Structure 1
């Protein structure tokens, strides 16, 4: 009985280490790293379709970059983190998804409507990331929420500020 429990715990720990952690890393990076360019582009151009393509480029570029970085970071033999290709794909796809979630509202042609939808998506993303960290990484819930929201909020407001700074009326 004890060996079954230990085997289950090891299996759960391996799953978190090899699947959840790379996915969470990618989701966090994609969600946060694409905020500034996306919202700066929206503020600078006042055109939803241009902001969408900036967000698309940032999301895909970040996905490729993060996927490669994770795959090349270690071969998994010493750390037990699993296949570098698997981790790289998981991280890269999660990064692209994290960036695209708040980019998709910019398919709406009205910039103000797109922005309001995107603000809501950003809030949802940050809370979802905090909840995933809480569930799988056993991080304290409120400190996790605070860390993710403060970090994401800084980048979010940087993008809005840069979007307003670059516009001269």
Structure 2
């Protein structure tokens, strides 16, 4: 749990939620291509940052969390994955269509996060969906507000 699931969940949440604001701000203020480039840069940069941070934050010896390198790779990889899936729709030139598909992908991502929290952390699905969706909605709103400003 502490060696694989928790680092993966942290990465997936961070990658999914933190990348929403820059991607949607870029899409609304510019174009699908710009949103795609910003999304890829955000996902890859955040993946490296989160992986590095996780690996350097705890050797795992005292806490029993396992290999720092393994946790770093898991966290970084899941952070990247969390940011990439809702970036890919911006390969579609039509901004309106890419935004719609990206929103659907985000909804699926948030559901998966809630399911993982329910399955492994035993958080009731209703509560997990509420908290995860609230966090995603706040960050998405920030991106949209900045995009129209």
Report the TM range for the smaller structure's normalisation: over 0.9
Cα deviations by residue, 1:27-64 (Å, 9 ceiling, x for unpaired):
0000001000000000110x111110000000001001
Tell me how far apart the structure 2 counterparts of residues 152 and 75 of structure 1 sit (CA, whole Å): 31
2:3 aligned counterpart, secondary structure: helix
Q: What is the RMSD computed on CA atoms of the aligned residues?
A: 0.6
What pairs with 1:1-169 in structure 2 (closer than 5 Å)?
16-45=1-30, 47-165=31-149
Tell me how far apart the structure 2 counterparts of residues 78 and 32 of structure 1 sit (CA, whole Å): 30
The count of aligned residue pairs is 149
After TM superposition, where is structure 1 displaced by more than 6 Å over at least 4 residues in a row?
A: none
Structure index of larger Rg: 1
1:102 aligned counterpart, secondary structure: coil
1:154 aligned counterpart, secondary structure: helix
Shift of 1:155: 0.1
Tell me how far apart the structure 2 counterparts of residues 141 and 120 of structure 1 sit (CA, whole Å): 19
Who is 1:9 aligned against? none
